Chains A and B, each alone.
Chain A
Amino acid sequence: MTNNPYKPRDWQIHPPSIYADYKSTALRNPLKPLIPIRQSLTEITGPVYGHDALGPLDHDLTKNAAKNGEPIGERIIVTGRVMDEDGRPVPNTLIEIWQANAAGRYIHVKEVHDAPLDPNFLGAGRFMSDESGQYRFITIKPGSYPWGNHHNAWRPAHIHFSLFGPAFASRLVTQMYFEGDPTFAYDPIFNSIPDEAARQRLVAKFSLDLTEPEWAHAYVFDIVLRGRHATPMEA
């Protein structure tokens, strides 16, 4: 709909509601067309959290649940920039992540995969982007894990990301992957994204520049949230 402050979700980029190869989509998504909305305050405002909402170790998943040592696995830095569709930074926005441990095991009570839990790893963290939209997590590289979607189904190693951006309309939940994963071609969730270039934007790139010597590999994952239409006031 025209005259909305926020640009629409780009349906050439986002997955379809129903994607047959991902079986759980069949009964859980609307079959009737979405109804266009004229964005009101409800859509163009959103929850705001101060930096004081976070604990000092929220960004460091190797420490925020440690009980008697470091978690097992490959320590990594995951960093990047949150921006809008005009490339402007999205500052002070809450980023929440959750993931499996190095063995590909989620700590969730209903997870049944026969891989070990790590007593020193929860797998959840938070960060508030800085004034330039930058964020940085320390974590353990997650393992691939099997799931029941089809025979011999394995999810590529991934980290879940949840962001708000400046508005209810700019909310985004997605997954970050790692370059070189051998299972991309077989994963219906990754391949539900219709555009190859868009899929590749979910694949974090190794950066030697940001890798810390003797300490941890770094992966870069930039995130683009919905932006605003230019208005006469801003033009």
Chain B
Amino acid sequence: MADFKQTPAQTLGPFFAYGLTPEQSGYAHKEIAGNIMAAPGVPGEHVRIEGQILDGAGAPIDDAMIEIWQADADGRYPGGSRDEAGGSLAFSGFGRCGSDDEGGFWFATIKPGAIGNGHAPHIGVIVQARGILNHAFTRIYFAEESDANSADPILQSVPADRQDTLIAVRSETPAGPVYRFDIYMQGDDETVFFDV
């Protein structure tokens, strides 16, 4: 077959909100995906994931878009591919959140199950913003899963002194469990990004 070359990436720019995150940003346009991912009846532990995205000078990035893709509580991707169908219909597995003026973002979701033996529960993350020409891939792992984390082949491919950048820390609040996951694009605590 002919060899077709990849279309190059370009930044999503500063003005994506009315197109990609319109409802959460107050525009009169329907959102295809938002940051409230799980209806109340969806099986699993309902959790909030929140964080802040910061640039190399420690300044908040107020025009970022964070996207996450995760399995359901049973470790199944909801209709995620032609050969991996299954999962809960009320749970899309995909969330999208534009950052606020403080670089903040959050998702209301369920904690994913492990996708198979040897994999720790985790969430795939894509980070984009004005100034990011190629979207950046990272992952969220869960601090209380230390045994599974220590056996996860992808987490363990990360140098030990950088693994903490991928691990969300859990706290219990009156509204339910909250995981903290900050994203540092650069600096001493630069988040690990993957060549996916």
Contact = CB atoms under 8 A, between A and B. Distances in A.
Interface in B161-196: 185-186, 190-196
Contact of A34 (B8, B81, B128, B193): B193
Contacts of B192: 32, 35
A52 to B, nearest CB: 12
A96 B32 CA distance: 9
Interface residues of A, number: 88
B11 interface: yes
B196 A39 contact: yes
A233 B18 CA distance: 43
Given A30-B193, A174-B8, A224-B4, A25 B133 contact: yes
A38 B4 CA distance: 24
A51 interface: no
Given A27-B57, A30-B186, A47 B135 contact: no
B51 interface: no
Contact of B132 (A28, A48, A53, A94): A28
Contacts of B128: 173
A87 B123 CA distance: 31
Interface size range of chain B in the complex = 35 or more
Given A27-B56, A47-B93, A41 B10 contact: no
Interface string B15-28: 11111101000111
Contacts of A217: none
A41 B131 contact: no
A189 interface: yes
Interface in B129-152: 129-137, 139
A70 interface: no
A224 B19 contact: no
Given A8-B195, A34-B195, A160-B12, A225 B7 contact: yes
A63 interface: no
Contacts of A88: 1
Contacts of A227: 4
A35 B81 contact: no
Nearest to A30: B193
A184 interface: no
A14 B69 CA distance: 23
Contacts of A173: 9-12, 128, 135
Interface of B is mostly: loop
Interface string A1-24: 000001011100111110100111
Contacts of A168: 69, 124, 126, 196
B105 interface: no
A43 B94 CA distance: 13
Given A42-B124, A44-B81, A124-B19, A162 B6 contact: no
A31 B136 CA distance: 12
A106 B188 CA distance: 36
Nearest to B119: A40
B55 A224 contact: no
Given A28-B55, A30-B190, A37 B6 contact: no
A85 B6 contact: yes
Interface of B: 1-20, 22, 26-30, 32-33, 55-57, 59, 61, 63, 67, 69-71, 77, 79-82, 84, 92-94, 115-116, 119, 122-124, 126, 128-137, 139, 153-154, 157-158, 185-186, 190-196
Interface of A: 6, 8-10, 13-17, 19, 22-32, 34-49, 53, 55, 65, 83-88, 94, 96-98, 100, 106-111, 122-126, 160, 162, 166-169, 171-175, 189-190, 192-193, 195, 197-199, 201-202, 223-227
